[in-house]
Amino acid sequence: MAVGISKIVSALEPSATLAMAAKARELKAAGKTVYDFSVGEPDFTTPAHICEAAQKAMAAGHTHYTASGGIQELRVAIAKQYQATHGLEYSPQQVVVSNGAKHSLHNAFTVLCDPGDEVIIPAPYWVSYAELVKLTGAKPVIVPTEEKNDFKLTPAQLRAAITPKTKILLLCSPSNPTGSMYSPDDLGALADVVLEKNLVVMSDEIYERLIYGDNKFASFAAVRPGLAERTITINGVSKAYAMTGWRIGWTLAPLNVSKAMDSLQSQETSNPCSVSQYAALAALEGPQQCVSDMLAQFAKRREYVRERIAALPDVTCPNMGGAFYAFFNIQKHLGRKYGGVQVDNSAQWCLELLAQQGVATVMGSAFGAEGYARLSFATDMKTLEKGFAGIEAFLKS
């Protein structure tokens, strides 16, 4: 007898980024050389002072359940940081710490969405958004954006997508998968529509500290008065502090939303990992040089990636203002054979690139944008050099 899986989970797509990373790992385990640009996680190890804080926390006996929404010191530190960097006033109770920003997003959608509600998600989008929305019975409304506009949602596109059922607008800036960034003015123009149409905004700001050149980051809740009452901000330590494995993310939200998430989490996971919370506290309160040092490395890689992509024939790529992804257009390279294999879409292109050259990227279709591929440059220069040689050889084949 096959055990039945619920309808809602049967309809779920597994994470394509994690699936490509698993494929790359499998090939490596089988002895193949693989240049892995699939998953977006810093290749750096977590800074030593953060690991030491975790060891101290264990030695001090912080190995028990904590308050479900996180230890008070960490909630205070997060609220303080938002005050200092964005002038936003949150009480510690408005901060809920979870097991990674992905979990924060899941909590937020779960407490806000009823079946039938609509959530506007600009495409290209990070793979998990639409699936997390579907888990609640709500409907993701995917709104395609244009490469010529750096994949940014325009106020007109937002207006056109709003229906009486629209509840939430999801924004991610800097963006995964495109690296594109909304300027403070871009966000202000969207905020005017949000306020007029009475929407809630989920603002995923996990790449806030990874910004290049003169680009200016603004936290969505801070761009107009009255937005903090309708914004759920998502952030965490995974990307800025190379702490993906520690699983700490958080939300800042109106008090009733935070209380609902806290109560949901108290039934779901009790609390985020105690030791990781102390590590995250050390990340926020300790020296920040580690963030600038990693950013300097990412900036060098970004320059290199931009040059190498610009040199690829018939490939375009919008400017990466932040994060560590390049999202490049491969439309002119589809509809032909590579090493005797017909390749018609981005999934086939990425799978053949992996099979023939050992280069792992993620297909644009997983991000709601067919005809593109995503490359994570959170990896060392040597791997980038070899990977681009593989991409060039593949395009010529």
Q: Using CA atoms, how far apart are residues 132 and 103, in angstroms rounded to an integer? A: 10
How many C-beta atoms lie closer than 10 Å to residue 10's C-beta?
8
Nearest to 319 by CA among 343, 303, 340: 303
CA 241 to chain centre: 14
CA-wise closest residue to 76 among 107, 59, 58, 97: 97
The least CB distance from residue 238 to ligand GLU, in Å, is 8
What's the CA gap between 98 and 273, in Å, rounded? Answer: 9
Binding ligand PMP by CB under 6 A: which of 176, 231, 365, 379? Answer: 176
Residue at token pair 């024939």 = 313
Q: Nearest approach, Cβ of 61 to ligand PMP (angstroms)?
A: 26
Give kind and range of the element (H or E) at residue 359.
strand 359-360
CA distance 374 to 91: 38
Residue 277 contacts which entry, ligand GLU, ligand PMP, none (Cβ below 5-8 A, type-dependent): none
265 near ligand PMP, judged by CB under 6 A: no
Taking CB atoms, the residue at the shortest distance from ligand PMP is 100
Rounded-to-integer distance, Cα 204 and Cα 319, Å: 20
249 binds, among ligand PMP, ligand GLU, none (CB under 5 to 8 A by kind): ligand PMP
Smallest gap from residue 69 Cβ to ligand GLU (A)? 22
Closest approach, Cβ 9 to ligand GLU, in A, equals: 18
Q: Which is nearer to ligand PMP, 139 or 374 (CB)?
A: 374
> Two tokens at 112?
């806000």
Give the shortest CB-128-to-ligand GLU separation in angstroms: 6
In whole angstroms, give the CA distance from residue 267 to residue 2: 29
Task: Give the type of residue at 169.
Answer: L
Q: Does 236 bind ligand PMP (CB under 6 A)?
A: yes
Q: Which is nearer to ligand PMP, 44 or 356 (CB)?
A: 44
x-marked contacts with ligand PMP along 77-116 as a string, rule CB under 6 A? -----------------------xxx--------------
CA distance 215 to 201: 22
- Write out the E strands in 29-79: 35-36
Interface residues toward ligand GLU, by CB under 6 A: 15, 17-18, 39-41, 102, 126-128, 176
Count of chain residues binding ligand PMP (CB under 6 A): 13
Q: Is residue 290 within 8 Å of 47, Cβ to Cβ?
A: yes
Of 162 and 232, which has the nearer Cβ to ligand PMP?
232
CA neighbor of 247 nearest in space, from 271, 217, 216: 271
Choice from 23, 40, 82, 108 touching ligand PMP (CB under 6 A): 40
- Which CB sits closer to ligand GLU, 90 or 298? 298
Q: How far is the CB of 209 from ligand GLU (least distance, A)?
A: 15
**Binding residue (CB under 6 A) for ligand PMP from 54, 121, 158, 206:** 206
Site residues for ligand PMP per CB under 6 A: 40, 100-102, 126, 172, 176, 204, 206, 236, 238, 244, 249
